[in-house]
Amino acid sequence: MTEKVSFQVGAGTITIETGHLAKQADGSVTVQLGETMVLVASVAASHAKPGQEFFPLTVDYRERAAAAGKFPGGYFKREGRPTEKEILTSRVIDRPIRPLFPKGWYNEVQVQSILLSADGENDSDILAIIGASASLMVSDIPWAGPIGAVRVGRVGGEFIANPTHVQMVDSDIDLVYVGNATEVVMFEGAAKEIPDADFIAALAFAQAACQPIIKAQNELAAKVGRVKREITINVVPDEILSEAKRLAGDRMIPALLTSAKLAREAAVKSVSSDVGKQLVAKFGAEKVTDFVLKDAFYYIQKEAVRSLVLDSGKRLDGRGFADIRAITGETGILPRAHGSAMFQRGETQAVVSTTLGTTEDSQDFDSYTGGVNTKQFILHYNFPNFSVGETGRISGPGRREIGHGALAERSIEPVIPLKTFPYAIRVTCEILESNGSSSMASVCGGCLALMDAGVPLTRPVAGISIGICTDYDAKGEISRYKLLTDIIGWEDAFCDMDCKIAGTSVGITGFQLDLKLKGLPHKLMVETIELARGGRMHILAEMAKTLAAPRTEMSKYAPRIITLKINPEKIGALIGPGGKNIKRIVEESGCEINIEDDGTVNIYSTQEEGMKVARAAIEGLTAEIEIDRIYRGRVVSIKEFGAFVEVFPGKDGLCHISELANFRVKQTEDIVKMGDEIWVKCIGIDEKGRIKLSRRAAMEDRSKEITEKVETEA
């Protein structure tokens, strides 16, 4: 039976429907806003695979070109590997739904989203998040939802729920927010240096906007009336867990308090290995499997870490709760890079390079849902196995690397004046050591590398990660908590939150929240944001010790730019038939030349001489002769009444015999001959466009300039 609910969010109406499409899935829905529609289907395996030791959740979002009435690019005319947008959307669906599945349930779950229709105005990512929640709600899959999702923009000082692409052009914030009935579950996005108080207000607005979405899903689930399946939870047997705790005794705390990361891991491993051998000897290898040992020690370590934080007021590396690890930085460390930097915070190290290119190097991509389809600024993040002292599969960037790179990219982009800095910019972040928040190290290192390259950032950007450790009472409410500034890897693993906030001294530019909890109260987010601001200011001050502002000189290996403005009607003349003219200029000068529709011409080269050649050629083809300007021209024709002088290629004017000198000239040849190069001044252009030149006036003006210069120097 088909069931449907509709509700208002902002100016648009969202409709969720189930029971019509994909009926063999455990739960499926379509979600529609305007003429944008996504299908989301969820399926859970009936049994866990033998030996399964983790929860295998796969979230996949795909866009079909047909949704926008287009053909996919490429030879095969078929969608291929997921695009960056598809990967990022998959992640933004995965992160809020994952914590709401039962702990210890290891049946495989797949949540798949397909874009079926795109109107070019309403984006599909919010609809896909809502669809994932709704499909799980109407299924028999155990899940502690629902959740609501909304995009928040702000135009003219007013917050907007689910703005269109047109509205987002003028928005100073792009917030993707996911919440439950009372608390925040996840958020991410970017902003144009908005004050912290405005960001807090945006979160409150988003939480309220989620409520009709949650209410509608509860209504839909009630209409469907699906009973959740009975499940088996995998837990460590009580007797084994109790014995493991007894055997570990008081050895785990000192091991955890070992200061350095690798030494801490070795100390904990030593305790775990010893306890594991004793457990196997007592209970047998059949009962004490690798899974049982792994789960038991995870629980023991988690309990110990949280006890240290909440009961003893201690962090693993000995810092205070608001302390930031030691920060160092260097710039110019890579000799051939256009800009480079090393940023180190504790045991997290990023080496970052900046590459400048022409606007032709910008990234173009298909955009079926509307919005931008080109990127002038790109940030790529790499996380090799050796950065954490491990081996593993070596391949291309995974979802995590793409997600971390996107977070750093959107955190820095608001301070790059792309409209007035006509370069394509690529920042490459290599994480060489990692112990917490390498994405925020990429923001800091990326900013330093950009300034080292001479990119004129409006202000430096820094990022910080805040964690939380919580304890709950019998009512399921937080009874006590500790906020942790600049979390390390083990605090991320065993505590409850990773909230990353980046910004300048003026305001916030990027943000991302991940929770292991089912939600977090708004008042705790307010505390988190205030704490992050203090951390951000501290890091900015430390970065300034390395490099406080963009360099005024660019690397000798970076391309220089000359920007010319020509009459748009002359673009055809500059390009020439079949591109003949522009190809000739590129070959003769060795420059790259980009021509925009408004007549802006950008000349790129590392060689100054080549840029002069290109500029002269372009001006020769496109420049207009101006009255009262002096030009160096070539005599191309001798007449009784004067000489014709070519000022630009194909453009000449008459220098009358009376204008050849400041005395009476009998014959033109007495002053000039064919091929002579002479200075002339444009003294007029008649109604037919004929140009009048004067050698006499040019000589007088140039003589006056020389006299004034000599007098000034004297």
Provide the 10 A C-beta neighbour count for residue 71: 10
Do 7 and 31 lie in one domain? The reply is: yes
Residue 57 belongs to some domain of the structure: yes
Task: Compute the residue count for the chain.
Answer: 714
For residue 525, the 8-state DSSP code is: H
CATH of the domain at 670: 2.40.50.140
Q: Phi and psi (nearest 5°) for 651?
A: -125, 115
Q: Given 197, 224, 251, which residue is the final one in a domain? A: 224
Beta strands in 332-461 (DSSP E): 339-345, 348-357, 363-364, 374-375, 377-382, 424-433
Burial class (CB in 10 A: 0-12, 13-18, 19+), 179: buried
User: Which residues partner with 30 through β-bridges?
Assistant: 17, 39
Q: Given 169, 197, 224, which residue is the final one in a domain? A: 224
Instruction: From 153, 97, 103, 112, select the one nearest 514 (Cα to Cα).
Output: 97
Q: Are 435 and 488 in contact (CB under 8 A)?
A: yes
Residue 332 belongs to some domain of the structure: yes
Do 360 and 398 lie in one domain? The reply is: yes
Residue 434 belongs to some domain of the structure: yes
Angle at which helix 438-452 crosses helix 522-546, to 10 degrees, equals 40
Residue 77's pLDDT is what? 86
Token pair belonging to 211: 């409520």
Residue type, 269: K
Do 441 and 531 lie in one domain? The reply is: yes
Cα–Cα distances in Å, from 280 out to 273, 284, 295, 635, 639?
11, 5, 15, 101, 110
Per-position b or e across 48-58, b if 16+ CB within 10 A of its CB: beeeeeebeee
State the Cα–Cα distance between residues 497 and 481, nearest whole angstrom. 11
Do 102 and 132 lie in one domain? The reply is: yes
Residue 142 belongs to some domain of the structure: yes
Do 414 and 277 lie in one domain? The reply is: no
What is the model's pTM?
Answer: 0.88
Cα–Cα distances in Å, from 189 out to 198, 282, 440?
14, 52, 14
Q: Given 515, 546, 577, which residue is the final one in a domain? A: 546
Residue 286's pLDDT is what? 87
List of residues 6+ apart from 208 with CB closer than 8 A: none
Do 350 and 476 lie in one domain? The reply is: yes
Do 100 and 116 lie in one domain? The reply is: yes
Token pair belonging to 418: 């792309």
Residue 714's pLDDT is what? 56
Instruction: From 30, 27, 42, select the one nearest 6 (Cα to Cα).
Output: 30
Phi-psi sector, 560: left (phi>0), alpha (psi -120 to 50), beta: beta
CATH of the domain at 270: 1.10.10.400
CATH of the domain at 612: 3.30.1370.10
Q: Are 681 and 701 in contact (CB under 8 A)?
A: yes
State the Cα–Cα distance between residues 344 and 139, nearest whole angstrom. 47
Do 334 and 470 lie in one domain? The reply is: yes
Do 256 and 391 lie in one domain? The reply is: no
Q: How many structural domains compose the chain? A: 5
Q: Are 655 and 642 in contact (CB under 8 A)?
A: yes
Q: Would the CA dihedral through 533, 536, 542, 545 be positive or negative?
A: negative
Do 299 and 352 lie in one domain? The reply is: no
Residue 434's pLDDT is what? 95
Residue 551 belongs to some domain of the structure: no
Residue 315 belongs to some domain of the structure: no
Burial class (CB in 10 A: 0-12, 13-18, 19+), 226: middle
Residue 51's pLDDT is what? 80
CATH of the domain at 9: 3.30.230.70
Residues with pLDDT less than 70, the chain = 708-714
**Pairing between strand 36-44 and 109-117?**
antiparallel
Beta strands in 98-198 (DSSP E): 109-117, 148-155, 158-161, 173-179, 184-194
Residue 552 belongs to some domain of the structure: no
State the Cα–Cα distance between residues 137 and 42, nearest whole angstrom. 10
Q: Are 306 and 316 in contact (CB under 8 A)?
A: no
Do 165 and 281 lie in one domain? The reply is: no
Do 351 and 486 lie in one domain? The reply is: yes
Token pair belonging to 627: 């009255």
Parent domain of 570: 560-622
Sheet holding 592-595, edge to edge: 560-565, 600-605, 592-595
Residue 555 belongs to some domain of the structure: no
Q: Are 16 and 214 in contact (CB under 8 A)?
A: no
State the Cα–Cα distance between residues 162 and 160, nearest whole angstrom. 6
